[in-house]
Amino acid sequence: MGILSEKVAVVTGAGSGLGRATALRFAEEGAIVILCGRRLGRLEETARLIASAGGRSQALRLDIASECDVLRMQEFVRTAYSRIDLLINNAAVVELGSVADTSLDSWNYQISVNLTGAFLMTKACLPLMRERKYGRIVNITSSLAENGAGGYVAYSVSKAGLETLTRTIAEEEITHGILTNMYNPGTIRTEMHATGQEPAAVVPDILALASLPKHGPNGKLFEVGGLPLAAGG
């Protein structure tokens, strides 16, 4: 029996990188993982990897920036499982551009996925978490949220907004037994970064945040290597 046994976990961006690594580990720990993303083929590949290891998952193609898609996810999970215990808001996009050079379309695209998407996913999951008086939400952030960086204007702003959203949710939902935190994994090797450590190396931190006890941290920012409570590597 894993530490997430029978929990229903929703993971965005689950078709690759950190999202896939998180989904694989959560399934290994006994969770039923709802794999969310825009590329069904990649999600199904993640689902096959989970199944081959004896785990359970469901691939759902959706655009997290689309309220209709997100509500469809909510209805599917409510009908199939009647609960959502964990939400990992991992999906993100980045397009390089300075303030002077970034088009409005590029700005809106990054804000809609990185910030609005997390808002919509959280809003859809909260009712099912409230029903059980239990929930753990982990929002994946970046050091650019605090520091900014030339050439990353929309991405940096979206992550800064995500951190404020996290603290707001934490304050609003604590009375419902829901803990919400943010995690900065540092530089990891993904489709957005050619260098860095493997995504699986930081997943124990995310697992620790997803399995916090009742009076665990809430509304806090954690960075890679900064969780002494990390569930065994």
CA distances from 67 to 84, 119, 121, 167, 196 (A): 18, 10, 9, 22, 33
Measured at the CA of 127, the angle between CA 210 and CA 90, to 5 degrees, comes to: 40
Burial-class residue 30 by CB neighbours within 10 Å (0-12, 13-18, 19+). Answer: middle
**Which residues make Cβ contacts (< 8 Å) with residue 1, sequence separation at least 6?**
30
Instruction: Report how far residue 142's alpha carbon sits from residue 155's, in angstroms, rounded to the nearest whole number.
Output: 9
Q: Is 155 a catalytic residue?
A: yes
Rounded to 5 degrees, what are φ and ψ at 180?
Answer: -130, 125
Query: What are the C-alpha distances in Å from 114 to residues 13, 65, 91, 121?
Result: 11, 8, 7, 11
Place of tokens 């929703």: 10
Write down the catalytic residue from 134, 152, 155, 183: 155
H-type alpha helices, 178-221: 203-210
Looking at the annotation, which residues are catalytic? Answer: 155
